[in-house]
Amino acid sequence: MLKKIQSPSKPQIELFKIVKKIFPNAELNYPMLNYLLDIAIPDKKIDIEYDCSYWHSEEKDNRRNEKLHFIGWKVIRFIDRLPSINEIREIA
pLDDT in tens, 73-84: 999 999 999 999
Count each helix (H run) and each strand (E run) in the chain, helices first. 3, 4
Residue 3, pLDDT score = 55
Give every residue of the chain whose pLDDT is below 70, as ranges: 1-6
pLDDT of residue 70: 98
Cα(33)–Cα(91) distance, integer angstroms: 22
Other C-beta atoms lying within 10 Å of the C-beta of residue 31: 14
